[in-house]
Amino acid sequence: MTATTDGSTGALPPRADSASEEVHLTTPVAAGVQEAAARAVQRATDFLLAQQDAEGWWKGDLETNVTMDAEDLLLRQFLGIRDEATTRAAALFIRGEQRADGTWATYYDGPGELSTTIEAYVALRLAGDAPDAPHMARAAAWIRERGGVAAARVFTRIWLALFGWWKWEDLPELPPELIYFPKWFPLNIYNFGCWARQTIVPLTVVSAKRPVRPAPFALDELHTDPAHPNPPRPLAPAASWDGLFQRLDKVVRGYRTIALRRLRGAAMNAAAGWIIERQENDGCWGGIQPPAVYSVIALHLLGYDLEHPVMRAGLESLDRYAVWREDGARMIEACQSPVWDTCLATIALADAGVPADHPQLVKAADWMLGEEIVRPGDWTVRRPGLPPGGWAFEFHNDNYPDTDDTAEVLLALRRVRHHDPERVEKAIGRGVRWELGMQSKNGAWGAFDADNTSPFPNRLPFCDFGEVIDPPSADVTAHVVEMLAVEGLAHDPRTRRGVDWLLAAQEPDGSWFGRWGVNYVYGTGSVVPALVAAGLPAAHPAIRRAVTWLESVQNDDGGWGEDLRSYRDVKGWSGRGASTASQTGWALMALLAAGEKESKAVERGVQWLAEAQREDGSWDEPYFTGTGFPWDFSINYHLYRQVFPITALGRYVHGEPFAGRGTGAAGRPRADAEGS
């Protein structure tokens, strides 16, 4: 056994050949790797085509952790709308996710996590589970051993404060006057990433109002000392950034006592206007669950009753995050990923040999074209003169298109032979122009905003959970660079700046960090194809270092995997973990782009995918290979296990993709893309 940096004790990454019961052998090795790959591609393609919705999109479940389910119940309790059927179904799911030691983790096979366990425990108490029941007693004992509620993150203690289980006075201040801070001020709301911005604005109202709804029970069993449940937290040294911001929080607390009532009221009303302006047509906020939850609470506290159209639409949107399972359990998705899933599925199918004019690919292209965002959003704060032209991640999110989805949508559209090529060309032209305009000053790309790199938001005592800024990352930059290269802009100075940034961002061992996927395997699997598409030869030293690294972390069974612990313990876990279909696909995509088709590493990886495939053409993957915030918020995209193996196997069987075979030839500049 080996000790991990989070304090848990975990086994070294397992090898698939020592756990063969998890791998269903379907293709005899003797049939030959090429033949096995071709057969796997055909079966996987048939399976994926069958998953397409009649409207043209694909969407797999987006699985995170039980805080989504717990907070959904707490919201319903706070609003007085919790019903027995919903509670019973949510509790069934939450109980099913509990580990043997009584805890809940944030990802499959991960260590128990304190705040997650507290929220799950409280949700089960709401569902009627007795505190002396064995599964509850184990959880409570573990919570107390880790410091109890007092050691939980701020967001967990906010939820408890809503019911009087924690004192508002012992939470960091978040004044609604923040809405008035000018855009040049170091802590204005636009210095936060879009997901944090959408959450913090409504929370300023909640923080100002400090509501308490009577708790249906006490939580003394979750405190180390029930007589003193709110122990003070130690101050960091005054000379440190953390110490400075802790003391700044004390100043803001003092301001609360002298804040002008009219100014505070106006600030809360301004926050309400900001929230309502950003509500989507389907009632959600940004297509993600947490901002919707806090927005509903904030507006309710400001007097919006539950029958108000804004509130009614918001509550109805929350129901659409629910996934009902066959056993009657109800899982809440933090977000939904149809645009992302659809463009990745289109790329996978095209690269697997599905004809460019296949009706299902054309239908997917039609749906993606209809999802283009043609109005300004918050990104215009830093790019006020840039016309719209991007795509978002979700069904409904016109305020926050992102560069990652936009790049992959354009790569997908370029693979389809559409019946209206002029419409496609115009959409691609707008998308390329928008991507070029969203480039940050350092030459790279963030996901939602340009130059969202302020060091201050992450220092706030309020922000103790995950990333709250959106700096450029290697994976996103790679996808944009690859798209620009396909569009004939490989030699454009802006593309070359992106390439230079990627080369400078390479780790000493040859890998690249993965911001939105786990982790170095994802980053490397994204960057190598992009650099090759942009014209770097396979013999380039950066490409060779990446190949060497990928070969060095290949598992004994032939696959690749990486545990989320690599975000905390780089040396111990980088590139290490149980083999998964998606991560094996990423590694193979990089190796194939680097010209390694005939290598033993590629052969073994392809063989692993063929052997791990299930009878119906799919792959099983319980491991979480996506991230919302590295380590803090992990995601299991249920379609990743399908699209990335198909992409890799398709490129192995059919060769590297010629992305211009659809609407037009690649390798020439697009007139619409000239200039920014």
C-alpha distance across the termini of the chain, in Å: 54
List, by residue number, the catalytic residues.
Answer: 404
One-letter amino acid for residue 211 of the chain: P
Helix (H), strand (E) at residue 293: helix 289-301
φ and ψ at residue 285, rounded to 5 degrees: -125, 110
C-alpha–C-alpha distance, residues 674 and 676, integer Å = 7
Provide the 10 A C-beta neighbour count for residue 507: 17
**Closest of 641, 579, 601, 614 to residue 27, by C-alpha:** 614
Q: Is the Cβ–Cβ distance between 234 and 461 less than 8 Å?
A: no
Q: Which amino acid is at 154?
A: V
- Tokens linked to 560: 């690749």
- Cβ–Cβ contacts within 10 Å for residue 593, how many? 26
- Token pair in block for residue 406: 């936009």
CA separation for the pair 662, 40 (Å, rounded): 24
The long-range contacts involving 358-363, CB below 8 angstroms and separated by at least 24 positions, are 360/49, 360/52, 360/56, 361/415, 361/416, 362/416, 362/417, 362/418, 362/419, 363/52, 363/55, 363/56
Q: Tell me how far CA of residue 592 lies from CA of 483, 585, 666, in angstroms.
A: 18, 10, 20
CA distance 554 to 413: 33
Distance CA 582, CA 561 (A): 9
Rounded Cα distance, 491 and 497, in Å? 10
Torsion over CA: 43, 46, 49, 50 (sign):
negative
